[in-house]
Structure 1
Amino acid sequence: MPFDWSYFVSLFSMADFWKACVTVIALSTLAWLLGMLLGLLVASAKLSPSPLLRLPASAYIWFFRSIPLLVLVVFVYNLPQLFPASGPLLSQPFYSGLLALVVTETAYMAEIHRGGLISVLKGQREAGRALGIHTMGLQRLIVIPQAFRISLPTLINEYITVVKLTSLVSVISLTELLTVGQRLYAQNFLVMETLAAVAAYYVLIVTVFGWLLQWLERSLDLSRRTPRTLSEAAVAELRGAQPPATPADKPAPGRGAAPALQLRNLHKRYDDHPVLKGIDLSIGAGEVISIIGPSGSGKTSLIRTINGLEGIDQGEIVLFGQSYINAGNRLNTAQVRCGIRRIGMVFQSFNLFPHRTLLGNLTLAPRYHGQPRALSERRALALLDKVGLLAHAHKYPQQLSGGQQQRVAIARAMALDPQIMLFDEPTSALDPELVGEVLKVIRDLANEGMTLVIVTHEMDFALSISDRVIFMENGVIAFDGPPQAIRTHADARRVRRFIGLDEDGALALNLRARASGR
């Protein structure tokens, strides 16, 4: 029997088919959106450290990914037999099909979202915590926007799958594309022509909405965005409109003031491995402290305890004369959160937020903590100008060099007007020619009287900028004194060997020590 082309073409002017298209679009779009939102909640629950959330979420995903959708559609449609109160809603095929699709898609979407969430680097969360952003704020402002971009291609593919799955709802007589086609070929027996038209309608829907979603994906792709460098005239105009980078009502603390930071008998272990073994350290306001030592000596662990990224097993941290962190205390108390905002942190690997411009990176935390948008933007622009990057305010981090990114990280840490700045190997991820521009910014902060604690392998810099040098080894402080004492003090012999000083006190380039920190 020849293919009836005239009949096939006539099906594209049939009102019933176009109405069915609207039904398919509405059903698939609602199921996709609701499944995507609920799937995010289930994925977050599955990643939770609490078994009360993790185990039910895992069971939900396992169960509903195991049940065929056709079985679930029929079951939901007949659910009013068990729960008569659901009859007015579930007796309608559209809502029964929607519920079955949402329940199924939530399970699949949860795994898609979970893949996106675990792909966001740990350093992104740590950077947010260092800015005093709480768990929900971290998810909303930092983690989910990045995870969504990672998951979007798979989510788009899932939408196409949902469009095709709507054909299964024909089993409960929903007037969608396949149902209309079945009614037609049951009357005229032109099965091939009718099903070919049904397939063409599905292809049309998938093509149009697939293109729209791919446009969304391209618009969110930061690598496609053209770097925006401000003109010299625009930079000059912004520079003239900005206040000084250091607020007039909050001068930098002067040297000789009360201790900014006191560490008392700090102990820290990872499982059975102790990394800090009774650290006692007092840092005065305005002091510049460099912490040096071989890899694995506990330097990074020490400064991570200071801003609450790691807990302590024993001891106490006192901030400006007030108890800040105690052994066994939770790190999300109001007291700790308040203290964290007084301490800026600059990470070895920058940890800038890639989905935000430089301006957005600097304004995120101040706006989260309630600062008006206009004020936070003025302050951010002034800080970018201070680190020499005002012209790049509207660029994204990946459009900058490593040295520029680290300078932005310093400016971001300064955006909350901290009284203490922590630096964790700020130059170790940089090429040698980029190190100088970052060290200059740190030196400028020291000259302004900012309290600095710097973990570094840049020995020349540490000796030239520091009021005191702390040498750590095997989890304890082996030396604490001014740089000049290293050349003469009897207890500093191990330090001299580490940094490459000969017996006459002349500084030699210790390439091996530098390489160990990179």
Structure 2
Amino acid sequence: MKFNWEYTFSLFLDPNLWKAAGLVVVLSVLAWVISNVAGIGLALMKESRSRLLSTVARGYVWLFRSLPLLVLLVFAYNIPQVFPATSVVLGSSFSSALIALVLSESAYMAEIHRGGLMSVSIEQREAARALGLPYGKVQLHIVVPQAFRIALPALGNEFVSIVKLTSLASVISLQEILLVGQQLYTQNFMVLETLLSVAVFYVMLVTVFDQLRALLERKLDVNRRRPALQSEPECIERRVARGRERRAHSGEKLVHAQGVTKSFHGNQVLKGVDVDVHAGEVVVVIGPSGSGKTTLVRTLNHLEPADGGVIEVNGQLLGHRYNAQGRIEALSDKDISLQRRNVGMVFQRFNLFPHKTVLENVTLAPVQLRRMSGTEAENFGMDLLAKVGMSAHAKKYPHQLSGGQQQRVAIARALAMKPSVMLFDEPTSALDPELVQEVLSVIADLAREGITMVIVTHEMKLARDVADWVVFMEDGAVGQQGPPESLFGANADPRIKRFVQTVSDAPIITETPAVAGLMP
């Protein structure tokens, strides 16, 4: 038997095969898109703190990953015979095939998306929560976009599977490529010639869409993008001999923490901490590693809920409220997010959103929380970037910046919400020594402007020159607190002297500076 190449090539001009190929494209694209949306929803449900949602999602994934697609196709196509009302949705072989594919593929894509969600770091979620974004907006704008990019290669592979799985729809008489091919070779018995043409059609479809997937992957990968050109030179203004008057530890209390306790896995990290922060005051928290400094500052915006004690910010209980009976009850995540909007947070490792530009990082929260219009937020964002010397980098992405630049953008992002108090958690500890000064310069400028700040740091020069009040923590408790001159002076506690000597080469001051300035 001789292979008929002429007939094989003639099939590429057959209108019925091209029509079938078009139907496969439409069916595959619709199934992939709908399954993606459903898969993301199922993945979020599966990771939800709600046991009901998690159980429903787990049950769905278990059931539809267990059922063969062929069974779903036949079931979906024939169910109108038992339940005639379903014919409105399942009245054609195309709709039956689409529903069966979506039911099956959603279960697989849910696991792919769940892997993507798990790959997004907890720091990204915390940075979004610290801006006051509620759970839904955190997922929509921060977690899901990053998770989708991570999962895209696997999702592209799943699209290839869908294209090939459409061939099973021939069992319910859908006029897809394989069924048209079968109809042709039953007429002329040229089985191999026909199937070769059918195979080439599938290869062409998969190749085209694989290229589109690669194009989308490159589009979403911000690491491949070239740095935007600077429109002006970067400049961090160095001020000489211009300090600020030391503020008294008195006046309006913006933050009041009393008897704060916190434990992790039975280990008590905070042991009844008392700290007050007044309007316009700079409170610096120092102490050896493991003394509870970071945990304390994280409780001040409820990223770490305190186990006991009272924390008030702007006169409101943080994370709680008094009910009608005068009892304290926990607030919902939505209400806590409202409180966080008044407490800016700058993290040790910057935690900028990698899929957004510098300006988008700054404007995201004000726009999404309807604090400003898009235009207002962009103008205000550019003003803030200019304040921290980063306006020339507004169109760049975080990976295109140095560590010091990223931290300055993080400061601008926190300031964009116009918080009543700013929290800094070791803002320079992740930086190379030559980059520390540029961040300290920005912090010193904020202090001069009268912005209320709580700063956890090992930079003793910052504590001596900028702080109005210093809190020394040791073993989860406040060992001593007071103005810098009392903690760093000649009569300082020996424990503080030893600590300062271990973290700083600078000598301990022996007199009170009249005017402090961080810049040379």
Normalization by structure 2: what TM-score?
0.90
What amino acid is the match of 2:265? D
Aligned to 1:249: none
Aligned to 2:200: 200
Moved more, 320-329 or 114-123: 320-329
What amino acid is the match of 2:65? R
5 Å-filtered alignment, 1:5-16, equals 5-16=5-16
| Equivalent-residue separation in structure 2 for 1:71 and 1:501 (angstroms) | 70
Is 2:281 aligned against 1:287?
A: yes
Change (3 A) 1:335 1:489: farther
Aligned to 2:222: 222
Is 2:472 aligned against 1:471?
A: yes
Aligned to 1:243: none
Aligned to 2:259: 265
How big is each residue's C-alpha offset from its partner over 1:122-174, in whole Å with a ceiling of 9 and x where there is no partner?
A: 11111111111101111111111111111111111111110000001111111
Q: CA deviation at 1:323?
A: 3.4
Is 2:443 aligned against 1:412?
A: no
Aligned to 1:239: none
Is 2:18 aligned against 1:24?
A: no
* 1:314–1:326 CA contact under 8 A, matched in 2: no
Change (3 A) 1:487 1:194: closer
| Equivalent-residue separation in structure 1 for 2:317 and 2:87 (angstroms) | 61
What amino acid is the match of 1:294? P
Gaps of 5+ in 1: 237-253, 509-518
How big is each residue's C-alpha offset from its partner over 1:421-450, in whole Å with a ceiling of 9 and x where there is no partner?
A: 100010111111111111110111111111
Change (3 A) 1:409 1:329: farther
Q: CA deviation at 1:381?
A: 0.2
* 1:367–1:376 CA contact under 8 A, matched in 2: yes
Change (3 A) 1:335 1:52: closer
How big is each residue's C-alpha offset from its partner over 1:246-286, in whole Å with a ceiling of 9 and x where there is no partner?
A: xxxxxxxx865312211111112223222111111111211
Count of matched residue pairs = 489
5 Å-filtered alignment, 1:100-249, equals 100-232=100-232
| Equivalent-residue separation in structure 2 for 1:47 and 1:82 (angstroms) | 36
| Equivalent-residue separation in structure 1 for 2:399 and 2:502 (angstroms) | 39
5 Å-filtered alignment, 1:259-408, equals 259-326=253-320, 329-332=329-332, 336-370=336-370, 371-408=372-409
| Equivalent-residue separation in structure 1 for 2:71 and 2:436 (angstroms) | 63
Change (3 A) 1:76 1:59: same
Moved more, 465-474 or 178-187: 465-474
Aligned to 2:457: 456
Aligned to 1:241: none
| Equivalent-residue separation in structure 2 for 1:222 and 1:170 (angstroms) | 42
Q: Percent identity?
A: 52
How big is each residue's C-alpha offset from its partner over 1:271-305, in whole Å with a ceiling of 9 and x where there is no partner?
A: 32221111111112111111111222111111111
Change (3 A) 1:334 1:104: closer
* 1:348–1:429 CA contact under 8 A, matched in 2: yes
* 1:324–1:335 CA contact under 8 A, matched in 2: no
Q: CA deviation at 1:489?
A: 7.6
* 1:311–1:331 CA contact under 8 A, matched in 2: no
5 Å-filtered alignment, 1:429-508, equals 429-488=430-489, 492-500=493-501, 506-507=507-508
* 1:466–1:483 CA contact under 8 A, matched in 2: yes
> What is the root-mean-square deviation of aligned Cα atoms in Å?
2.2
| Helix, strand or coil at the partner of 1:449 | coil
* 1:318–1:325 CA contact under 8 A, matched in 2: no
* 2:258–2:273 CA contact under 8 A, matched in 1: yes
| Equivalent-residue separation in structure 2 for 1:329 and 1:294 (angstroms) | 34
| Equivalent-residue separation in structure 2 for 1:369 and 1:89 (angstroms) | 39
| Equivalent-residue separation in structure 2 for 1:147 and 1:498 (angstroms) | 43
Q: CA deviation at 1:486?
A: 2.3
Change (3 A) 1:331 1:402: farther
Change (3 A) 1:497 1:30: same
| Equivalent-residue separation in structure 2 for 1:96 and 1:501 (angstroms) | 72
Change (3 A) 1:201 1:487: closer
Change (3 A) 1:38 1:392: same
How big is each residue's C-alpha offset from its partner over 1:361-395, in whole Å with a ceiling of 9 and x where there is no partner?
A: 11001111211111111110011111111111100
* 1:359–1:377 CA contact under 8 A, matched in 2: yes
Q: CA deviation at 1:335?
A: 5.6
| Equivalent-residue separation in structure 1 for 2:45 and 2:338 (angstroms) | 28
How big is each residue's C-alpha offset from its partner over 1:188-215, in whole Å with a ceiling of 9 and x where there is no partner?
A: 1111100000001111111122212221
* 2:302–2:318 CA contact under 8 A, matched in 1: no
| Equivalent-residue separation in structure 2 for 1:75 and 1:339 (angstroms) | 52
| Equivalent-residue separation in structure 1 for 2:98 and 2:167 (angstroms) | 12
| Equivalent-residue separation in structure 2 for 1:117 and 1:288 (angstroms) | 38
Is 2:417 aligned against 1:423?
A: no
Moved more, 307-316 or 354-363: 307-316
* 1:316–1:325 CA contact under 8 A, matched in 2: no
What amino acid is the match of 2:86? S
5 Å-filtered alignment, 1:62-73, equals 62-73=62-73
Q: CA deviation at 1:229?
A: 2.4
* 1:276–1:476 CA contact under 8 A, matched in 2: yes
Q: CA deviation at 1:322?
A: 3.8
How big is each residue's C-alpha offset from its partner over 1:29-50, in whole Å with a ceiling of 9 and x where there is no partner?
A: 1111111111111110000111
Moved more, 481-490 or 361-370: 481-490
| Equivalent-residue separation in structure 1 for 2:450 and 2:92 (angstroms) | 72
Change (3 A) 1:362 1:3: same
Change (3 A) 1:162 1:127: same
What amino acid is the match of 1:25? V
* 1:292–1:455 CA contact under 8 A, matched in 2: yes
Change (3 A) 1:475 1:379: same
Aligned to 2:517: none
| Equivalent-residue separation in structure 2 for 1:200 and 1:390 (angstroms) | 53
Change (3 A) 1:67 1:323: closer
| Equivalent-residue separation in structure 1 for 2:319 and 2:184 (angstroms) | 74
| Helix, strand or coil at the partner of 1:315 | strand
What amino acid is the match of 2:186? A
What amino acid is the match of 1:324? L
Aligned to 1:80: 80
Q: CA deviation at 1:321?
A: 3.4
Change (3 A) 1:115 1:500: same
Change (3 A) 1:311 1:30: same
What amino acid is the match of 2:472? F
| Helix, strand or coil at the partner of 1:78 | helix
| Equivalent-residue separation in structure 2 for 1:501 and 1:179 (angstroms) | 78
| Helix, strand or coil at the partner of 1:132 | coil
Q: CA deviation at 1:326?
A: 4.2
Q: CA deviation at 1:226?
A: 1.3
Aligned to 2:515: none
Gaps of 5+ in 2: 236-246, 322-327, 510-520
